[in-house]
């Protein structure tokens, strides 16, 4: 289930154009326990996102950051609302890591234990025609232990820059 809770974000990072909705086709995943666990994690991710993104805290902090970003992003293709949204999430990720609310090594141990064959089948059932692209990203994400970079606050700006570079050519 750990992978399922981060799978929507991993998929978007692997290919920004992918829009899978396994929660709309649950019957495809019920019979296989691994697929069902991934689906449960996926649905948990969606539920938490809905609650968090509509919280007063998130909305207020995003608005504050957006106001700081507006003059910097003037005449930029980068949308201030998008960057403030991601920025707040990354700062919170940093705080979770910094305050040991998330055990990064345990998280990556869970990802290493994933059965690639089952994950591949799950992705195909979701509608992926190119699971190789996902696994290239996923394996790189695991081997780099990217979340360890969140321990240092200064790495958050680098992460934001990389996200923008992936989405906008300029």
Q: Find the mean pLDDT for residues 25-37.
A: 96
Q: Find the mean pLDDT for residues 137-166.
A: 86
pLDDT over 90, % of the chain: 71
Q: How confident is the model at residue 168 (pLDDT cuts 50, 70, 90)?
A: confident
- Report the Cα–Cα distance between both ends of the chain, in Å, rounded: 37
pLDDT of 81 > 70? The answer is: yes
* Helix, strand, or coil (residue 124): helix
pLDDT tens for 118-150 read 999 999 999 998 999 999 999 999 999 888 888
Burial class (CB in 10 A: 0-12, 13-18, 19+), 55: exposed
pLDDT of 98 > 70? The answer is: yes
Q: Find the mean pLDDT for residues 39-49.
A: 97
Q: How confident is the model at residue 151 (pLDDT cuts 50, 70, 90)?
A: confident
């Amino acid at each position: 289930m750990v992978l399922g809770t981060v799978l929507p974000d991993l998929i978007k990072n692997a290919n920004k154009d992918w829009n899978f909705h396994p929660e709309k086709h649950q019957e495809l995943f019920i019979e296989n326990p691994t697929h069902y666990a991934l689906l449960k994690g996926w649905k948990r991710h969606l539920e938490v996102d809905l609650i968090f993104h509509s919280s007063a805290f998130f909305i207020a902090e995003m608005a504050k950051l957006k106001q700081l970003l507006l003059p910097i992003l003037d005449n930029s293709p980068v949308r201030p609302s998008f960057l403030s949204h991601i920025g707040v999430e990354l700062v919170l990720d940093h705080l979770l890591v910094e305050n040991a609310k998330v055990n990064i090594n345990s998280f990556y141990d869970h990802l290493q234990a994933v059965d690639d064959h089952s994950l591949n089948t799950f992705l195909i059932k979701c509608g992926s025609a190119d699971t190789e692209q996902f696994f290239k990203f996923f394996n790189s994400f695991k081997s780099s232990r990217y979340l360890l970079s969140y321990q240092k606050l200064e790495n958050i700006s680098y992460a934001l820059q990389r996200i923008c570079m992936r989405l906008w050519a300029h």
